[in-house]
Structures are given as C-alpha cells and as structure tokens.
Structure 1
Amino acid sequence: MLLLLTLALLASPTCRAQNVLGNAAGKYFYVQGEDQGQLKGMRIFLSVFKFIKGFQLQFGNNWTDVYGSRSDNFIDFLLEDGEHVIKVEGSAVICLISLTFTTNKGRVATFGVRRGRYFSDTGGSDKHLVTVNGMHAPGLCVTGMGFKWEDNAKDLGSPEPVKEPKDSSDSSNKKEDEGRGKDDDDNDEDEDDNDEDENNYGNDDDDDDNDDQKDES
C-alpha cells in the first residue's frame, strides 16, 4: 500500500509551496473562504488506516469543497463563539497521519494517530488561524499542510465611562445643610432686631427720667 502511495505521489505534478509542513509532494491547494466569515469548524476525513484522507473547512455557515478525498469515517470539530485556533500540530509519513488543533479556550482536538515526523505551527499569542493551504494526492490523501495566521481582531471602540450613581443621602444632607444655614441666618437677623429693640427701650427709659426731672424743677 505504501509503495502504491509513493508511486502515485511521484507520478503527480508537484508544486513546492512555502510553509507547507509534512510532505510537499502532490497537487497544491489553497482554501479560500475568509470573505464568507470567520473560521467556524473543520471536518476531517480519515482512511481505514487512520491517516488524513481529506478535509473541509466551515466559514460562517458555509462549508468549502473537500480537499483530498471523502470517506465514510469523518469527524467534525466546531468552534464556539469567540473561539479561535491558536496552534496546530501534526505528524506525517507519506500522508498526514495526524492533526491536532488547540484553541484559545483550551480545547484540543486530535485526528488520526500520532506517529512519523512531527511538526508544529502557531502564529503566536496575538494571532489565530484563518485558513490553510497544502498538498494532496488526488484520490489518496493529504500529504502536507500550511497555515495562515492573522492578528486577533481589536475592538477600536472605547467603552463609555461608568457613571457612578448619585447618593440620595448626600443630596438630602446637602439640602439639610442649606436649610440649616438659612435658619441660622434668620436667627441672626432676629437677634439683631432684638438688640435694636433693647437699645430703644433703654433710650425711652432715659427720656422718661429726663422729663420727670424737668417737672420737679
């Protein structure tokens, strides 16, 4: 079986693509779909020998064509809202034998069996997977795969500052203080009036005494 795969790969036209991990023999492909939305899932088709026979990607609500070949044995890995693939690992002999996807939410999905030559790729902590390219032997398997990473989306809108609720007790205390100040002013005016009245009363008494003295004389 491996001999047939090797002969098929050698007979196929090859395209040396940059950043293709695994094997760069076979027919080149690039999965287009970013314009339809974010990467939301992947469907991996496995052969009876558990190597990666083909795959599809889901962008938004749409699935792409199958790259490689279909099989009755396939597994879907769907991403949740706000979830992105941040790391891909795999292994290859002639075909890709395994693929492992790790997301920013800590979920890990492994397809196939890890054996052969191991590889790993990531865009770093500030990037996520948006699509893939690679090589496949038509009708047989996916031989190699490359990964396109993109900066995480940034929220350009600045959140509105949180307005602290006004404390009703502070307002009532303020009004109370203003009321007290007003009462104090009124009391001061009353005291001034009383002082003036007392002075007038004293003056009246002095005038009466002066009148009495004039009468006696």
Structure 2
Amino acid sequence: MQYIAFFVLLTTAVFADDRLQHFSFSPPVGSGSGTQYSLTGEGRITAVRVWENFNGYIFGFQFRYGFVWSPIAGHKSGQVLEMELFEGENIVQISGKHNHYLYSVVFTTNRGRKLFAGQPVGHSFNMYPEHDGAELRFISGRVHGAITSIGAHWADVNPAANRTGH
C-alpha cells in the first residue's frame, strides 16, 4: 500500500512538469525490505554513480542532474563506479540480478554504452520504458544495509528542455 501512495505522489510530481510526456513505471524487483528511497533531481540525468561492495551487493546509487549531484540512495560502501553521459545521451535500460539484495545492475544508454556493477548472482531483471524516446527520470526502492529493491520511472522529455532543466 505504501508503494501505491508513493507511486501516486511521484507520478503527480512528474506530470506537474509539462516538459515530460509518456510516463511509465517498471515495478521494483528485490525483497523490498528496509527504508524507502527515491533518487530524483531537476533536469536530465547526466551521470551515474554506483557503489558495489566486495560481497557483490549494490550499496548505493547517485545521479547527477544537469550539474548537480543528487543525495545518495543507500550508502557509500566499497568501490564506486561512475559513467558520465554525453550530450544527448540518456539511460534507456536497467538490468541486473537480485535475490534478497540487488547483486548487480547494468545501466545502458541510447548510445549502447553500459555501466556494470556488482556480481551476476540471483534472478535476472530487465527494465525499460514503454514508449520510444523515453528515458530514465528517477529510481525508487528500498535499502537495508545494501539496496534491497529498485524500480524505474521513465518519461520522454521535451527537446526544448535543456540539460540542466532550467
């Protein structure tokens, strides 16, 4: 029930921005235990950071929106991996492996570049937008030590909106 209320609230916030169209949601995967997180920001995603622990778990995420880094969802623990996006590049797919925790994640861009983090253990998942031209806008899920679930929120952005969202 909390996920439904959370989803409605976030959907309302997304639709309030008239530059966004064709919203879709990839439901969360993983156990879903722990505290909720939502990783959002102003403008388009321009870089991604992922913290992977030596145990193979994904411990944290951070997105840069325009020139501003978001707060961290989860924790800074282990090795940080980062991918900076090029002008006009955006994230169009999230895949990976999960069980109780998120064991691996792969962010794929519309240019075919990928950021791999974690270990390929557990059940596979694959998330992508329902509409052509849509891109990743934000993620949400739960964290309990490591990341226990991830869901993806997609929308296309009016081309008139610039990289920083201003």
Question: Above 0.5 in TM-score?
Answer: yes
Structure 1 or 2: larger helix share?
Answer: 1
Relative contact order, higher structure (CA 8 A, sep 6+): 2
Q: Give TM-score scaled by structure 1 length.
A: 0.59
2:153 is matched with which residue: 133, 148, 151? 148
Task: Give the superposition deviation at 1:153.
Answer: 2.9
* Alignment correspondent of 2:28: 20
**2:147 is the counterpart of 1:107:** no
Shift of 1:131: 0.9
Secondary structure at the counterpart of residue 40 of structure 2: coil
**1:22-61 Cα deviation digits (max 9, x unpaired):** 222211111221x2x2101111111111210111111111
Deviation (angstroms), 1:80: 0.7
1:66 Cα shift? 1.4
Q: Secondary structure of the equivalent of 2:93?
A: strand
What is the rounded CA distance, in whole Å, between the counterparts of 1:71 and 1:115 in structure 2? 19
Q: Residue type matched to 1:32 in 2?
A: T
CA shift for structure 1 position 126: 2.2
**Structure 1 residue corresponding to 2:141, chosen from 134, 138, 148:** 134
Question: Are residues 15 and 94 of structure 1, via their aligned partners in 2, closer, same or farther at CA, if it must alter by over 3 Å?
Answer: farther
Secondary structure at the aligned position of 1:129 is classed as strand
Q: Letter of the aligned partner of 1:115 in structure 2?
A: V
Distance, in Å, in 2 between the alignment partners of 1:48 and 1:110 is: 14
- Tell me which amino acid in the other structure corresponds to 1:150: A
Percentage identity across aligned positions? 25
Q: Which has the higher strand share?
A: 2
State TM-score, norm by structure 2. Answer: 0.76
Contact 1:22 1:119 (8 Å CA) reproduced: no
For these two proteins, the number of residue pairs brought into alignment is 138
**Letter matched to residue 57 of structure 1:** F
Equivalents in 2 of 1:102, 1:44: separation in Å? 13
Return the alpha-carbon distance in structure 2 between the equivalents of residues 120 and 78 of structure 1: 22
Kindly state the Cα deviation for residue 99 of structure 1 after the two structures are TM-superposed.
Answer: 0.4
Give every structure 1 segment of 4 or more consecutive aligned residues whose post-TM-superposition deviation is greater than 6 Å. none
Q: Structure 1: which 5+ runs fail to align? A: 1-13, 156-217
Q: Residues 52 and 141 of structure 1 are in contact (CA less than 8 Å); yes or no, is this contact kept in structure 2?
A: yes
